[in-house]
Amino acid sequence: MGRLLVVGSVAFDTVRTPFGEATEVLGGSATYFSTAASFFTDVDLIAVVGEDFPDEYVTFLKSRGIDVSGLERRSGKTFRWRGEYTYQLNEAHTLDTQLNVLESFRPKIPDHYRTPDALFLGNIDPELQMDVLNQVERPRIVACDTMNFWIHGKRDALWKVLEKIDVLVINDGEARELGQDFSLVKVAKDVLARGPKYFIIKRGEYGVLMFHEKGVFGAPAFPLEMVKDPTGAGDTFAGGFMGHLSSTGDFSDAGLRRAIIFGSVMASFTVEGFSLDRLRPLEYQDIETRFRDFKRLTHFEDLS
């Protein structure tokens, strides 16, 4: 089992979906990511919270075996996000963002975090992502998320990060913005030519595509009877993906494909509840059961 370092946000989310709502619940990319990854590997967390962040949440993260030495507590309030979803569950509508302590966040890496086996650069300012990358010994695998805000506002800084990473994980809308082309295949060619060896495109309820030099892997999302809240699906996808890779150290094509499925499994659980509600009672056996269900979902016989 390797050590997986993640930097990202910890937040209070207020979310409304067609299936319910939740107010000031635990959220944030690093929270979702590290919780999902903790089922597979040892996770070191870097993030910032305010004075209002309850001890019970820290206790929860610790209970998942997550090292929270890098969870900085500063004076001020924790980052807050408020948003809603219509039946177009793939698209979150942000109603309000209060950066609070996140605004002046400068990730500081504790000494014992500096030799991770795997690193995930969550969706923060690409300059901060680069800063983190520069503070650690190059891990065996580095993945990165981003969003349209950075693609538009810090395009050059973002491309500098992308040149140094192994895996870019973004959604289809972001991919089209980044590549400035409608064809995901063309965008993938462009991205792969400029740095990352793997380019993962998340498509929400429609699944995921992973492009690499030798081809492409595609998996549908797991068909669910009840989706409650898509928030965190992409982050827990990345957490399952990187957690599995960190745990196995198997970066072969077969290993990466399996990691994609583990990521998809974690995302499928996440959306069945608000906040981390569905991940809290989860056991590793549940994950393996759904992995096998995924195999049954997608398997067909090749031509002889």
Q: Which is nearer to a copy of itself, 66 or 227 (CB)?
A: 227
d(CA 237, CA 81): 20
Q: Does 56 bind a copy of itself (CB under 8 A)?
A: no
Site residue total, a copy of itself (CB under 8 A): 40
Q: Does 284 bind a copy of itself (CB under 8 A)?
A: no
Token duo for residue 171: 């959604």
Q: Which of 152, 186, 194, 280 contacts a copy of itself by CB under 8 A?
A: 186
d(CA 8, CA 21): 24
Q: Tell me the window of 39-47, 93-101, 104-112, 216-224 that interacts with a copy of itself (CB under 8 A).
A: 216-224
Q: Does 257 bind a copy of itself (CB under 8 A)?
A: yes
- Show the binding pattern over residues 4-43: x = contacts a copy of itself (CB under 8 A), - = does not: --------------x-------------------------
Q: Which of 183, 194, 249, 280 contacts a copy of itself by CB under 8 A?
A: 183
One-letter identity of residue 51: E
Q: Does 251 bind a copy of itself (CB under 8 A)?
A: no
Any residues with CB less than 8 A from the CB of 44 and at least 6 apart, and which? 3, 4, 5, 6, 66, 67, 69, 70, 110, 113, 116
d(CA 133, CA 114): 10
Any residues with CB less than 8 A from the CB of 302 and at least 6 apart, and which? none
- Show the binding pattern over residues 68-97: x = contacts a copy of itself (CB under 8 A), - = does not: -------------------x----------
Q: Are 210 and 200 in contact (CB under 8 A)?
A: yes
CB burial class (10 A; 0-12, 13-18, 19+) of residue 268?
Answer: buried
CB of 93 to a copy of itself, least distance (A): 17
Footprint of a copy of itself (CB under 8 A): 18, 87, 182-186, 203, 206-207, 209, 211, 215-220, 223-227, 254, 257-258, 260-261, 288, 291-292, 295-303
